[in-house]
Amino acid sequence: MNKNISNILKAVSKPGRYAGGEYGQIIKDKSEVKARFAFCFPDTYEIGMSNLGLRILYGVLNEEPDVWCERVYDPWVDMQEKMREYNIPLTACESGDPLTAFDMVGFTLQYEMSYTNVLNMLKLAGIPLYAKDRDDSFPIIIGGGPCAYNAEPVADFFDLFDIGEGEELLPELCRLYIKMKDEGRYTKAEYLHEAARTIGGVYVPSFYDVTYNDDGTVKAYTPIYDDIPTKITKRIITDMDKAYFPKKFVMPYIETVHDRVMLEVFRGCIRGCRFCQAGMIYRPVREKSPEVLNEQAKCLYEATGYDEISLTSLSISDYTHLEELTDDLLEWTDENMVSLSLPSLRVDSFTKELMDKIATVRSSSLTFAPEAGTQRLRDVINKNVREEDLLRAVRVAFDAGKNTVKLYFMSGLPTETLDDIEGIAKLAESVIDEYYKCAAGRKVKKPQVTISVSCFIPKPFTPFQWEAQDTFEMLEEKQAYLASKITDRKIRYTHHDAKVSRIEAVLARGDRKLSRALALACEENFMFDAWDECFDYDKWISVFERTGIDPAFYANRAFGLDEVLPWDIIDCGVSKEFMRRERDKAYGETTTPHCREKCSGCGANKLGGERACCPNLKN
């Protein structure tokens, strides 16, 4: 470590973010490496180190003997100031080499408000923002993750995107790179063409001309080559039992957001909530067997020493072998004082038996997500949860001695009225009432119900992708109205910043015209926009005004049902026709049964084999 770095680390907060040298990191001999890959997480170290996807892809790439994948995180504001002061470029954790020394630089795009961090990291690395300005001396810049399903707002900055799951796709990209280098025929242009032509799930934005209608909407995507797909279909892993899973984790020096074993139980979701992008883009459902999960949990516990195992999925109670898995885990976790965490339980699947299992290892509040305050609106969004389901679930928790519950809701959902908003307060009051019914005749602590309300954002590849978002003034009015309806001090009310949600909607539904706004934001040092202390709505509006962007065109406009959507270049596996049907059913306040009750023909099973999206289908 040079003297400057040593002095800087003494002057910044949490120097463990930048020290490197963690237990479990992978170091390789550069002389034996033919492709170097820098995996960038565009947020702080403690958030990136908690991301399971990064851990999986870091491991799978390093399984290739001639590929070396290293980690890069976004330095916090104080560290960036020092880097600029001392002219220190952004470097990788393992080798300490600058990003310009790598062959490929990949960014995981987990949330839209991290886009400014992506560009800021490129700037810190001395890499030109726009793909057209980078010659063959610069690394190939790759994007992936959930936001890549609408990559258009950042398309001009990336050489390619991997669409879908990357465990097979990223190694294929590295192997192609090595092959073309070994054959002496590598140029970036030829490599990108070969990748787009031969590797499924590869989207090269520069190979598609985008034209626009007079009203500013997208007219068409036109491939510039005849031998590349007109639409890019996502990649998935079909057999999760055989999928790569790391046998050890890189262990951080400092506390991270999730200091625990993250055990991925299954991918996909059977539920079909109409606002939920993850529930659509991660279809079909693919489960791991309890035997494989138990072995992976033991392996990671022995490698890390963590005292908590979190069973991760979009809805853990939908795992078909949950009882068997928890029984298998408790056979050895109890005696080792390891707790089990089930963070995504549904109220209609929460049972006393499950409560007894997790109560043996930890005592904490429970979190449920009714999402809407009235049954009418829950039917509109296809939540398929009733008030009696919630009250039954909290009774189980209260009878077990718990006195705190957290409830998640959304504001601004399609067809929402003030009655639906008031219903949130009434539902919280019903939970308080249920507590005292359970506590009748005994001395108890005062209950606490926390309601957390986020703002609805119409996301791509959902049945609500065509809907207009409420203006932030409307959202703030609804937030104030709900606050006026909460009169019980045992109910705590928190909500998201409506202004942040508006910018997120612009970036979620945007097209390539947004690149000039993002480039200007980077020039003016926007960063960490997902953090309250860094976000500045007025500065965002100023950037939009100066680059000719009307945020209402993207956030607050209802998209035409026959309009070419910016993300129509991508095939997520769920058909547009299914989305239309679900939207129609929403306005008819009609629900759709989940995939195990009845297949609704979303189309996702074509990706994962017959009946893959509907395991244990009853009819």
pLDDT at 163: 98
Which range has the worst mean pLDDT, 175-189, 364-378, 438-452, 600-614? 600-614
> 477's torsion region: left (phi>0), alpha (psi -120 to 50) or beta?
alpha
- One domain, residues 48 and 194: yes
Is a pLDDT exceeding 90 seen at residue 507? Answer: yes
Instruction: Judge if 223 and 298 occupy the same domain.
Output: no
Residues 171 and 279 in one domain: no
Residue 188 CB partners (closer than 8 Å, separation 6+):
134, 135, 136, 140, 159
Q: How confident is the model at residue 193 (pLDDT cuts 50, 70, 90)?
A: very high
The predicted structure's pLDDT at residue 532: 94
Question: Within a domain: residue 501?
Answer: no
- Map 126-159 to HEC letters: CCCCCHHHCCCCCCEEEEECHHHHHCHHHHHHCC
CA distances from 591 to 139, 379, 460, 583 (A): 48, 6, 21, 11
pLDDT for 618: 39
Report yes or no on 222 lying in a domain: yes
Please compute the mean of the pLDDT values over residues 385-410 and round it to a whole number.
91
- Structure confidence at residue 408 as a pLDDT band (50, 70, 90): very high
What pLDDT is stored for residue 2 in this prediction?
52
Q: What is the pLDDT of residue 351?
A: 81
Specify whether 9 is located in the same domain as 108: yes
Q: Which sign, positive or negative, has the C-alpha torsion 185, 191, 197, 200?
A: positive
The pLDDT-based confidence of 482 (bands split at 50, 70, 90) is: very high
Same domain for 60 and 143?
yes
Query: Does residue 481 sit within a domain?
Result: no
Query: Contact, 500 vs 536, CB < 8 A?
Result: no
Residue 266, domain member (yes or no): yes
* Percent share of the chain, pLDDT over 70: 96
Q: β-strand 208-212 against 218-223: which pairing, if any?
A: antiparallel
Residues 213 and 352 in one domain: no
Give the model's pLDDT for residue 444.
73
Interatomic CA distance for residues 329 and 498, integer angstroms? 42
Closest by CA to 582, choosing from 412, 379, 370, is: 379
- How many whole angstroms separate alpha carbon 520 and alpha carbon 509? 19
Does 611 have pLDDT greater than 50? no
User: What does the chain come to in residues?
Assistant: 619
The per-residue pLDDT for 390 is 94
Supply the CATH number for residue 40's domain.
3.40.50.280
d(CA 427, CA 422): 9
Tokens matching residue 64: 């290739």
Q: What percent of the chain has pLDDT over 90?
A: 85
What's the start-to-end Cα distance of the chain, in Å? 64
For residue 176, pLDDT beyond 70: yes
Residue 338 near residue 361, CB atoms below 8 Å: yes
Q: Which of 191-195, 339-343, 351-355 has the highest mean pLDDT?
A: 191-195
pLDDT of residue 253: 87
Q: Band of the pLDDT at 441, cuts 50, 70, 90? A: low
Q: Report CA 186 to chain centroid distance, whole Å.
A: 34
* Domain presence at residue 397: no
Q: Domain containing 618 — which CATH number?
A: 3.30.750.210
Radius of gyration, alpha carbons of the chain? 25
Q: What is the mean pLDDT of the chain?
A: 93
Q: Are residues 310 and 168 in the same domain?
A: no
User: Are 170 and 212 members of one domain?
Assistant: yes
Q: Which amino acid is at 343?
A: P
Centroid of chain to Cα 295: 26
Residue pLDDT, tens place only, 125-168: 999 999 999 999 999 999 999 999 999 999 999 999 999 999 99
Here the tokens at position 216 are 């500013």
Q: What is the mean pLDDT of residues 313-336?
A: 92
Average pLDDT value for residue range 414-439: 95
Q: Which amino acid is at 545?
A: E
Phi-psi region of 20 (alpha: psi -120 to 50; beta: other; left: phi over 0): left
Helix (H) or strand (E) holding 262: strand 261-264
Residue-level pLDDT at 341: 84
Neighbours of 141 (CB within 10 A): 24
> Is residue 616's pLDDT more than 90?
no
Number of separate domains in the chain: 2
d(CA 562, CA 577): 11
Do 141 and 202 share a domain, yes or no?
yes
Which of 182, 217, 233 lies at the terminal end of a domain, its last residue?
Answer: 233
Token readout for 453 is 């309300």
Identify the DSSP state of 153.
G
**Sign of torsion over alpha carbons 346, 351, 353, 359:** positive
pLDDT band at 364 (very low <50, low <70, confident <90, very high): low
Across residues 440-458, what is the average pLDDT?
A: 89
Domain that holds residue 281: 261-362+589-619
Contact 208, 221 (CB under 8 A): yes
Is there a single domain that holds both residue 309 and residue 208?
Answer: no
Instruction: Assess whether 211 and 317 both reside in one domain.
Output: no
pLDDT of residue 617 exceeding 60, the answer is no
Checking if the pLDDT of 361 tops 60, the result is no
- By the 8 A CB rule, do 174 and 189 touch? no
Give the confidence band of 614 by pLDDT, cuts at 50, 70, 90: low
Together in a domain, 207 and 339: no
Is residue 20 predicted with pLDDT exceeding 50?
yes
The answer to whether residue 600 is domain-embedded is yes
- Any domain includes 195: yes
Is 26 within a domain? Answer: yes
